[in-house]
Amino acid sequence: MMATADDPEYWTQLMATYLLHPETDHSDQLRSISSSPDFNLHFPLYIDFAELLDYDPRIAHLIFSQSNTYLQLFDEAALRTHRIVLGEMAGDEKNTVVEKKYIHVRINISGSPLECPETFPSIGRVRVQHRGILLTLKGIVIRSGAIKMHEGERKYMCHKCKNSFTVHPEVEARNSISLPSICPIQKPKPCGGTKFQYVENTIVCHDYQEIKVQESTQVLGVGAIPRSILVILKDDLVDVVKAGDDVIVTGLLTARWSPELKDVRCDLDPVLIANNVRRINELKSEIDISDAIVMKFKQFWDHFKDTPLKGRNAILRGICPQIFGLFTVKLAVALTLIGGVQHVDASGTRVRGESHLLLVGDPGTGKSQFLKFAAKLSNRSVITTGLGSTSAGLTVTAVKDGGEWMLEAGALVLADGGLCCIDEFDSMREHDRATIHEAMEQQTISVAKAGLVTTLSTKTTVFGATNPKGHYDPDQPLSVNTTLSGPLLSRFDIVLVLLDTKNPEWDAVVSSHILSEAEPDRTSNDEDLANIWPLSTLKRYIHYLKEKFKPVLTREAETVISSYYQLQRKSATDNAARTTVRMLESLIRLAQAHARLMFRNEVTRLDAVTAILCIESSMTTSAIVDCIGNALHSNFTDNPDQECILAVFLCIKCSFA
C-alpha cells in the first residue's frame, strides 16, 4: 500500500530522497557524521532553504508553515539517510562507523525568500501572526543562561491495550510533562484507557540553554526602547554564543505561561525555539561594498596621487561637515575609527590595535556632535552618558531570573568589535571609571559575581567626551583640570583639549559659516559642499580600509618613531615612564591608521610624523602644536602637501634637535 500525502511517511521518504539526490547531495555531511565515534552526541545537518525550495516547493512550504511537525520528520529522514550512508561505508574495512542516535536538520535561510520583512522582522515587530511559522530574528545576545539537562521525552504504556506512546514536555507549561486524559493510540476502535505506567529507561535528555536576544539600537529611532526575546537552544546549539555576540536565529515562535501569581492575570510570553544560530561577529554589518565602489576609491587616489594630503583632507571634510574647521579633531576621529593592526607575539601576548580618543573641552565646542557622528560611521556602536551609566551598565552585571544567576552584558561588551561612545565622562563616579581600565587596555572584562567567574571580550574603541573642572588652567596637568586619574588618561591614545578662547578672526569665520548654512542658496567659500563625501560613502570606506589593509612600518618610519620615543623617555619623570611606553604603542597604532586612511599597506615617514603631531596635540604644552595654534581653531589648509614639509621641519627642529 503506497503512502499518500496525508501520511507522514510520504513526506519522510521525499525528504530522504532530497538528502541523497545527486544535485543536492548531502552525503559528505552524512559521511562526516558517520565517521564520528560518538553515538550519543547530537549532530547538525545543514540545509539551505533556497536549495530546498528549488528542489521541491511543497516540502519547503510545509517546513515554513508547519515547522513543529515537519522539522521532526526531517530529522527522521536524516537518520534514515544516515543508515543508508552507514551501510555504504561499512563495506570499506578502513572505516570504523557507528550508528548515531540523534541528527538534527538545521535550516539556513541565507539567500532565500525567507529574508523578507514578513519572516525576518525586527524583534520589536514580532506579533501573534508569526506564531507557528519558521521565523528569523537578528539581534545581540545580552544574557546567556547556564546549560541544563532537559528531559525531552519519555514513554508510557497503557494498562488496557498494552501499547506504549511517547510524551513530550510542553513549552507552554514551562517544559512540564502532562499525561493525556485517555489513551492516544490511534486504532479503528480506541481503547479509552485512562491508566498509564512509565516504561523504564525510556527518558531521553537534551542539553538546554536559554539566552536573551535584544534588537540592535542602531535600527531604532530616538526614544524607542529596544525589545528583547527569550531564545531556547537545545543539543548542538548550546554554548555556541555568549553575551555580546551578534546573532541571526532561525526557529519556531511559540509562547509559554508566565509564573502564576495570585490576583495577577497570566499572560503568554513569546519564546523562540531555535533551529539554527549563526554568529555574525566577524561580519559586524551587512555593508555592501561592490567592485564599482572599490574602483571609485582607487580612482579617487589616482586623481590625488601627486597631492595625497589634499585627497586626505577631502575625505576628512565629510566628518561632521556641519562643524566648521576643527581639522585636528576630525583627523583624530578618523584615525580612531580606522585603528591600527593588532599584534600578537609568540607567547600569546596581545597588543591592541584599537585606539581610544578623549575630547576635553568647554561647552559648545561640538564634542557631542562628534560622538554621535562617529557612532553613525561605526558598523557597531553603543552610545551612553556618564550620568546614565554605572560600572555594571558599562561592563557586566549579574541578574537573577527564575532562581538562576545570569550575566547581562553592558555597553562595553555590547560594543565588542565596534565603538563605545561615553558622553559626559566626568559625570561618572571614580569607582565606575576604574572598572573600564581593563576593558580599554587588555580588551577583556574579568567577572566574579554571584559565583559566576568568567572573562568577556571588549575589543572596542572608546570615544569619550568631558568638560573641564571649572576654568581650564593650562599651567595645571590634565588630571587636575578633568578630575580623571593619570592611569585612566594614559589609556587614551589621543586627548584633545578644546578651549573656547576669544579670537575675533576665528569668530568672524565661524559666524559666516553658520549663517551660510542657514540660507540654502548660499554655500561656504571655504568648503565646496558638493565635494564632501556623504555618510554612506565614508562608512563603506572605513569598513573597506579595516578589512583590506594591514600596514607594516618601513625603516624610515621606525627611525622617526624611535627617535621621538627616546626623546620623550629622556625628558620623562619616573612616574611618567609608563605613560611614554604606552605612547610608543599609540604612535604605532596612529601611524598604521594614517597609512590605512591614505590607502596604503606600508607606514611611511609621513604617517609617522602625522602620528607625532596627533600625540603632540594631546599635550598641554607642545613645542610643535603651539606653533600652529589651538586645536579648536585648527582649520583645513589650501596646500596641505606643501605645508607638510613645514610640519616635518618643525618636528625635526622642536623634537629631534
What is the average pLDDT across 630-634?
A: 59
Residue 619: predicted pLDDT: 63
Distances (CA, A) of 583 to 21, 317, 551, 613: 61, 27, 19, 12
The amino acid sitting at 178 is S
Percent of the chain with pLDDT over 70: 78
Greater confidence, 559 or 280? 559
Distances (CA, A) of 186 to 163, 238, 463, 646, 653: 10, 35, 66, 92, 95
In Å, how far from its chain's centre is CA 231?
18
Greater confidence, 366 or 224? 366
Greater confidence, 260 or 478? 478
Highest mean predicted confidence (pLDDT) among 39-48, 329-338, 508-517:
329-338
Q: How confident is residue 524, by pLDDT bands cut at 50, 70 and 90?
A: very low
What is the average pLDDT across 385-394?
A: 64
Phi, psi at 304, each rounded to 5°: -105, 30
Residue 284: predicted pLDDT: 46
Q: How confident is residue 257, by pLDDT bands cut at 50, 70 and 90?
A: confident
CA distance 257 to 180: 19
Residue 655: predicted pLDDT: 47
Helices (H), 166-316: 291-303, 308-316
**Mean pLDDT, rounded, of the chain:** 76
Q: How confident is residue 372, by pLDDT bands cut at 50, 70 and 90?
A: confident
What is the average pLDDT across 60-72?
A: 83
Greater confidence, 413 or 526? 413
Whether 161 and 183 have beta carbons less than 8 Å apart is answered as yes
Residue 623: predicted pLDDT: 46
Greater confidence, 404 or 643? 404
Q: Is the pLDDT of residue 1 over 50?
A: no
Residue 238: predicted pLDDT: 87
Residue 218: predicted pLDDT: 64
CA distance 163 to 380: 57
Residue 60: predicted pLDDT: 83
CA distance 271 to 253: 6
pLDDT in tens, 91-149: 665 556 677 778 888 888 887 888 777 778 888 888 887 888 888 888 888 887 778 88
Q: How confident is residue 531, by pLDDT bands cut at 50, 70 and 90?
A: low
Residue 473: predicted pLDDT: 75
CA distance 356 to 464: 8
Q: Is the pLDDT of residue 626 over 50?
A: no
CA distance 27 to 321: 57
What are the DSSP E strand ranges found in 244-386?
246-257, 268-279, 343-344, 350-351, 357-361, 381-385
Q: Is the pLDDT of residue 645 over 60?
A: no
Residue 91: predicted pLDDT: 62
Residue 92: predicted pLDDT: 60
Residue 181: predicted pLDDT: 77
pLDDT in tens, 491-519: 888 888 887 777 676 667 777 766 766 55
> In which element (H, E) is residue 466 found?
strand 461-466
Least confident of 151-160, 344-353, 421-430, 509-518: 509-518
Least confident of 456-460, 467-471, 645-649: 645-649
Write 296-303 long-range contacts (CB < 8 A, 24+): 297/541, 297/544, 297/599, 298/599, 301/599
> In which element (H, E) is residue 641 found?
helix 640-655
| Half-sphere CA count of 525, side-chain side, radius 13 A | 5
Greater confidence, 411 or 23? 411
What is the average pLDDT across 279-295?
A: 69
CA distance 64 to 364: 55
Greater confidence, 521 or 271? 271
Q: What is the largest CA-CA distance in the chain?
A: 104
Q: How confident is residue 577, by pLDDT bands cut at 50, 70 and 90?
A: very low
Residue 283: predicted pLDDT: 44
Residue 264: predicted pLDDT: 66
Residue 530: predicted pLDDT: 45
Q: How confident is residue 322, by pLDDT bands cut at 50, 70 and 90?
A: confident
pLDDT in tens, 168-193: 777 776 777 777 777 877 777 777 77
Q: How confident is residue 651, by pLDDT bands cut at 50, 70 and 90?
A: low
Residue 259: predicted pLDDT: 62
Distances (CA, A) of 56 to 11, 12, 53, 254, 517: 11, 13, 5, 27, 59
Residue 410: predicted pLDDT: 77
Residue 627: predicted pLDDT: 40
Q: Is the pLDDT of residue 335 over 50?
A: yes
Greater confidence, 526 or 123? 123
Burial of 142 (0-12, 13-18, 19+ CB in 10 A): buried
Least confident of 77-81, 93-97, 445-449: 93-97
